[in-house]
Amino acid sequence: MTNEEIRQAVIDILSDISPEEDLENLDDNTPFRDQLSLDSMDVMDIILELRKRYRVNIPEEDYGKLDTMTNTVAYLEPSLKEM
């Protein structure tokens, strides 16, 4: 997957979890929780959905690395580049 495909996959997951959010104007460098109405359960749902859809292992100690779109794409890129 390219970085843009990874970004779109994360957007798709965000739209499933929080369909009322405007994701078209998402700032890739601002934390998701500062832009979207996400609680801690929503963040867990995003991580679980990434695991389920893409079979990527995300250890609990790495959850904080998925705070922005830029960081999430950079974290996932090594695992998903072969897809």
- What 3-state class would DSSP assign to 21? coil
**Residue ranges per domain, the chain?**
3-80
For the stretch 16-37, pLDDT in tens is: 999 999 899 999 999 999 999 8
Kindly state the greatest CA–CA separation across the chain.
32
> Which stretches of the chain drop beneath a pLDDT of 70?
none
Domain 3-80 is of which CATH architecture? Orthogonal Bundle (1.10)
Name the pTM for this structure: 0.90
Question: Rounded distance, CA 1 to CA 33, Å?
Answer: 25
